[in-house]
Each structure stands twice: as structure tokens, then as C-alpha cells.
Amino acid sequence: MITAELQKSWAASLLEGAAGTAAAPWLEELRGQAGALIDCLPPVNRKQEAWRYTNVEPLLKESFQPVVQRPSGYGGEAPEAIGPHRLVFVDGWFMPELSDTALLPEGVTAGSLDEAIAAGDERVKNRLGSVADPGEHLFAALNTALINDGLFLHLPAGVKLESPVELFWLNSGGDAARLAQPRNLVILEPGAEAVLVEHHLPGAAERYLHNGVTEIVLDPGAKLDHYRIQDESEQAWHLSRIALDQGDGSRYHGITLAFGGRLARTEYHGLFTAEEAACTLRGLYTVGNDQLQDFHLDVRHDVPRCSSREQFKGLLHGKGRAVFDGRILVAQDAQKSDAELTNDNLLLTRNAEVDTKPQLEIYADDVKASHGTTVGQLEADQVFYLRARGIDERRALHMLCEGFAAEIIEHIHLESLREQALARLRQTLGEL
């Protein structure tokens, strides 16, 4: 069992390794407050409901070296993007020499959070730390205590990007296992629209910890499509936290596809702060031997007439494990809310395991809400039907799994990205 002493000593070693990095006074204050929280927070262990099925003790016994300044180089080529707007980050730091933002419309900012802070950007000062709560748990506090670089994306009112902004998260090699701590801030002013695509890739490294936090602020009428493909090294630890603040009439459409990582946990924390907003979250995860995929959702309806849809599916094989912990809370004043939460899982082997816990908490009396979960195996009748038509058993298995996953992938509105996702899924299925 993880003790408070183990958690504090692990965090203290990382804070010590990052000591000496100066920042603006307001950021130093934000960092200091988060650092002080670490000593007060309860240990992240299975006594906490949010971590009941996920054991992070092996992670806290690992040693990582924080990357406190921009790497001098990467050594590899820039990844190929599907559009003209490419931003590359190595060990959590923006690499302008590998990026291409020349064709972004005038007034749009897409680049380094560290540079925006250094330039005294008031938008960052006013918004950073306003959405993501560092007091949630150790890893959230640690990210805030060690804020350095990450993405800063800002769209002025009414601007609609025609092409996606594409991010590539890479990791450098080296003797020591690295800790990447990207902090991302996305602000869409009223009526702005954008598509954001993230690729989480190992790069040159195999063993590392990615502990990222993304704050997204959607002002009234803003729309964001947000796609994330997590394909980290199978020796890597991946922790991502996405915090949403949605204004009146805003729309958020988020899809996460999770394939890689030794332990990968993705958190969504959504908050409706004004009426008529909509949030759609979808996810697909594949899990094999020595892997754990963990999804944690917390969507809060605090105001009337908002809608949320959460749909997640899992394909588990070998001795893979998955965790799905999803909650929708409808507050007493959130009348006319519309919420739906589902989680479906296919266990392809006897030793695969999933712990799933969809939850609805409703305190209003005029709402439309539902939730459900399924865990099962492929139906023998379906396999027999395909085999009776000359399809071998392995191909039949792949076709049925692809059909199961297609319900998530088909909601990717970018055709080229949808094809990439299908290709990656087929690669995983080919290993079965």
C-alpha cells in the first residue's frame, strides 16, 4: 500500500531536481501553492475511490529526471502532419525548428507556453490555473508545481480555422528516464472554431513519464474538435488530464484513442458554467499483456439546459487490464439537462480484465439521463456466420473487432486521421 511518506519523498526528489528554474512572480506563487499541496494531499492509493482499481505504487518506485529546459536538439526528423499547422514538442518543450505555424491566420497564437509567459502575455496570466484544480491528486499538483512549457493556443473571437492544429509529443533518449510535464492552455474566444489533433509518441525514448495537464476554455459559442491518439512506448507511463470550462452555447467534441503505455490514465473533467453548452466525449482503448488503460471521467452539470454524451469502448486481449470510472453529476439547479454515459468492452482472452463503473448522480427532477455498461466476448454465432462464408477464424475475429471499434472511429471528422486510426487498430489486431 502506498504511504504518504513514499508519495512525499518521490515528489520531493522531482521538485529538487527541478529547483532553480526562475519564473514570473505570479507563476512562482502558483507553483508554490501547488508544491505546498503535495504534503497535504492524501496518498494516491486504492483507498481513494478514483484510484480504487489502479495501482501506481510501481510508478512511485521509479526514478525520473525532470526536463527543466528546452532540449538542444532532437536528432530525428519532423513528423508528417495531415495539414499545414504542425507543432512538435520534445520532453514537453516546444521545438520551433521542427514545427510549422507560418500559415496560421493573423491573430491566432499557437506555440510555446513558456515563451508566452516570458513575454508577459496577460491572457496566460489570467487563465492559467483557472480550470484545472491542482488539489485533485498528487500528479495534478506536481504538474502545476513544475509548470514550464507546453502548448498555448489562442483564437480571437469569430476566427474559424480551416485546417487542424496538429501536435506531436515526442521524447528524447538518454541514460536517465525523463519526466515530461507539459502544461497546455487552449482559449477559444466567442464564436471561434478549431480542430486540435494530438499524437503522443515515444520518439527516441522507451522508458519515461508523461504527466500532462490541458486546460481548455471555450467562450460563448466557441467550438472545438479535439482528437488524441495515445501510442506511447510499452515501457512508458502516461498520465493526461483534460479540464474543460464551457461557456454559453459552446461545443466540445473529444475523442481519445489509447493504444500504448505500460500504465496510461486519461482524465476528463468537464464543467458547464453557462446554459445551452454541449460536450461529447468518446474513447477507444486496446489493452494487451502488461498494459493498463485507465479512463476517469467527471462531468458536472451545474446549470440548466446542457447536454453531455460519453461513449467509450475497449478491446482487451492477453493479460491486459482496463479501468473505466465515469461520473456525470447533475446539480439541483441543472434542470433540462440531457446526459448519457456508456462503456462497452470485449474480452478477447480469458485472462483479460476490466473494472467498469459508470455513475449518474442526479439532484434535479426534470432531466433526461441514462448510463450503462457491457462486458462480454465475441458471439460464437457471429464468428460461425462469417466462417460459413469462407472467412477464416482469425480474419473473422478481426472483422468483428473492427466493427465494434468503428462506432468510435467513425466520429473522427478528418478523413486522413480516421484512416490513420483504422490502420493503427488493424496493426494491433494483427498481433492477436
What is the phi/psi pair of residue 231, to 5°? -135, 50
Quote the Cα angle for 362-227-273, to 5°. Answer: 35
Instruction: Tell me which of 21-35, 237-251, 399-413 is least confident.
Output: 21-35
Q: Where are the domains of the chain?
A: 4-274, 378-432
Which of 39-48, 73-82, 220-229, 373-382 is most confident?
A: 220-229
Sheet with 223-230: list strands edge to edge: 93-94, 85-90, 165-171, 193-203, 223-230, 251-258, 278-287, 307-316, 338-347, 368-376
Q: How far apart are CA 385 and CA 200, in angstroms?
A: 38
pLDDT single digits (tens) 208-222:
999 999 999 999 999
Does residue 56 carry a pLDDT above 80? yes
pLDDT single digits (tens) 137-169:
999 999 999 999 999 999 999 999 999 999 999
Nearest to 142 by CA among 236, 3, 11, 7: 11
As a whole-number percent, the residues of the chain with pLDDT over 70 amount to 98
Q: Where is 29: in which H helix or E strand?
A: helix 25-38
Q: Any idea which residue has 468537464 for its cell?
A: 270
Between strands 183-188 and 208-218, the pairing is parallel
Q: Are the C-beta atoms of 153 and 165 separated by less than 8 Å?
A: yes
Query: Residue 62: which residues within 8 A CB-CB, separation 6 or more?
Result: 177, 209, 237
Q: How far apart are CA 339 and CA 243, in angstroms?
A: 18
pLDDT single digits (tens) 319-330:
999 999 999 999
Between strands 93-94 and 85-90, the pairing is antiparallel
What integer pLDDT is reported at residue 395 of this predicted model?
86
pTM over 0.75: yes
Nearest to 25 by CA among 125, 153, 154: 125
Q: Are the C-beta atoms of 201 and 229 separated by less than 8 Å?
A: no
Q: How far is CA 330 from the centre of its chain?
A: 23
Distance from the first to the final alpha carbon of the chain:
34
SS3 call for 381: helix
Nearest to 107 by CA among 54, 155, 43, 49: 155
Instruction: Tell me which of 42-56, 209-223, 250-264, 268-282 is least confident.
Output: 42-56
Nearest to 141 by CA among 189, 181, 87, 86: 181
